[in-house]
Chain A
Amino acid sequence: MNLIEATDLRKTYRLSRRTSIDALQGVDVSIAAGEMVAIMGPSGSGKSTLMHLLGLLHAPDTDDGPAPTLRIDGVDATTLSDGERTSIRARSMGFVFQSFNLVPTLTAEENVALAAEYAGTSGSAARVAARASLASVGLAERAGHRPMELSGGEQQRVAIARALVNDPKLILGDEPTGNLDSSRAAEVLGLLRRFNRERGQTVLIVTHDQEVGAACDRIIRMRDGRIIADERVADVQVAA
């Protein structure tokens, strides 16, 4: 069963009155539940835009062409209000970003608990969930530290703990290893792979890194706002 089914996704960003960027020019994509997929392509290829649409951070354009469809876990996401999209992000999705994006004034535990609270878990239960989630990424000892007091790799593991705390169906990573050295990157990738295998969570990663792509089940390659290749990783390796 497909977790994500989308057709005719288009997105144009208007930079000024005269200039605009056609970031996505009609993309059809489906992602099966439990898959771990990399979206790769050069800068400006539209891979981040695609992730923002699939992560319900932006809505697809509806003018100038066939009506887009976007179903996530069976729900039609094209007609949702901002509040409804926010609620789905809170409950069913987890985000991991290149620059970690932790709230600097909150401790690791509070950062993770924040996501649980946004998903509707009450204060003390959110704390318990946060500690469990931090333990699952091996950071139980660092729960009381602020982001400033943690290394880059640790911060990204806190971000993963935050993404996982609500046990979401979909984890979205936007260059999650981009700011890490190769051994920390492998650690982070290993965690995502582990949760994908153990809990069947669907993982979608935007990346430049060939090694990250190779660790996934499937690679979607993009250029100029379109998908130019969509291949199983096993096939790639056979071809190589």
Chain B
Amino acid sequence: MRILRELSRRKLRTSLTITGITIGIWALVVFSSLANQINGLVGMGSEYFADKIVVTDGMAFGSSPMRLDDVEIIAGLDGVGAVQPKVEIPWDPDPAIGFGAPDFLVGTIPGADAGFETFTLELATGRQLIAEDTGNVVVLGSTIARKYGVVAGGTVDIRGESFEVLGTLQPTLSSPDTNGFIPLSTAQALYLGDLPPLVAESLQADELANQIVVFPEVGADPTTVAAAIEAAVENSATMTGAEFSETVGATTVIFNAIIIGVAAISLIVGGLSVINTMAMSVAERTREIGIRRAIGGSRRRIVRELVAEAGVIGLLGGLIGLGLGAAVVVLVNEAGRSSGTVLFDLTAQTAAFAVGFSTILGMVAGIIPAWTAARLDPVSALRYE
């Protein structure tokens, strides 16, 4: 209470300093939440790719057609446990340009992974696809399901056709949320329609894929298997879990560098303004500090009181910054939710770090002026006007 009263003596200066810290911590909270979300997606991606090799056409990742014949070739290679062909195509062939992951249709043969797949999707309603499903049936990711407001048993229009919704999935906060899972044969037919007529006329729908997921056998080296696949299948490109982590790891490093940069800027700006405020405060209170020293206040105690005051400035700045940052996170996430774009993930850890960081920042910045104050000669401090 005494600390707040001291701070309220210098309302303008204290509130300006708190504002400075608030801005720094606000930026720290927002950027950290963004990084949390991105690191989460990357982590999920790494987890997804960890135990598999994704084979695509060598010309363009995931968009050029491959033949199902390749599946047979790959299945015959040493170290290959299971092979699962996939067709991934845009939900809407002419998607509006927007922020965030576009919606995709994923055609696959359930069970073709032969139990190798460890990245499982939990159901919210209805049932998963099974190998026997054909025609216009779909299992929706959570974001799409919410977007169309359907659950299992409902119908949804895809590319002008009505699809029966077999099930909906739990949110994963990653790409499956914006995917519709359909039988491979259904996807093949749609995919053929998407291809340029010149390419399409030489192809049959039922021999198409644009992605082949290969599960190496337990104990097989993914890199060796990937090399064997590239050698056996003409024009193929492979990506192993390790390669994926390496590629996206670079992105993560950049984002983490941004966070460290924001933290460093808020540290410097906020810290300097706390030092300034406390130094002014000490200068103004020279006489009072002289009184305290004269009547028996120890140096340690003077330092402690002033450092506590600076810590409260940091704490208030941190709490307000966290509050405003959380407001931005919640509002933007709410605004983006309808379009399936969740930008921020404000974790308890981030919140605690931001407030702890600003409090410690304030205290550390308060040490220098506090020590100056404690070193004052009480007699000359008492003469100070």
Chain B contacts with A in 255-301, Cβ cutoff 8 A:
287-288, 290-301
Q: A83, B296: Cβ atoms under 8 Å?
A: no
Q: B9, A105: Cβ atoms under 8 Å?
A: yes
State in angstroms the CA–CA spacing of A162 and B294 once bound together.
12
In the complex, whether B6 has a CB less than 8 A from a CB of chain A is: yes
Output the least CB separation between B99 and chain A (Å): 52
Q: Choose one: A57, A82, A94, A101; the contact of B299 (CB below 8 Å).
A: A82
Considering only CB atoms, which chain A residue lies closest to B9 in the complex? A105
Whether A101 contacts B287 in the complex (CB less than 8 A), given A52-B379, A58-B379, comes out as yes
Give the residues in chain A near B159, CB-CB below 8 Å. none
Q: A57, B379: Cβ atoms under 8 Å?
A: yes
In the complex, whether A62 has a CB less than 8 A from a CB of chain B is: no
In the complex, whether A10 has a CB less than 8 A from a CB of chain B is: no
Output the least CB separation between A220 and chain B (Å): 20
Give the residues in chain B near A163, CB-CB below 8 Å. 295
Output the least CB separation between A90 and chain B (Å): 2
Q: A119, B296: Cβ atoms under 8 Å?
A: yes
State in angstroms the CA–CA spacing of A90 and B300 once bound together.
14
State in angstroms the CA–CA spacing of A188 and B189 once bound together.
104
Give the residues in chain A near B291, CB-CB below 8 Å. 101-103
State in angstroms the CA–CA spacing of A104 and B287 once bound together.
11
Q: Choose one: B6, B287, B290, B295; the contact of A115 (CB below 8 Å).
A: B295
Q: B5, A105: Cβ atoms under 8 Å?
A: yes
Whether A104 contacts B288 in the complex (CB less than 8 A), given A57-B378, A57-B379, comes out as yes
Chain A contacts with B in 98-120, Cβ cutoff 8 A:
101-106, 110, 114-115, 118-119
Give the residues in chain B near A106, CB-CB below 8 Å. 2
In the complex, whether B38 has a CB less than 8 A from a CB of chain A is: no
Considering only CB atoms, which chain A residue lies closest to B291 in the complex? A101
Give the residues in chain A near B5, CB-CB below 8 Å. 105
Chain A 67-104 interface mask (CB, 8 Å, partner B; 1/0): 00000000000000011001101110111010001111
State in angstroms the CA–CA spacing of A200 and B4 once bound together.
40
Q: A58-B379, A102-B291 are known; give 6 further A-B pairs, CB within 8 A.
A: A57-B378, A58-B377, A82-B299, A87-B296, A95-B295, A114-B292
Ordered nearest first, which 10 A-B pairs have the shortest CB separation? A90-B296, A118-B296, A89-B296, A101-B291, A86-B298, A115-B295, A118-B297, A57-B379, A52-B379, A57-B378
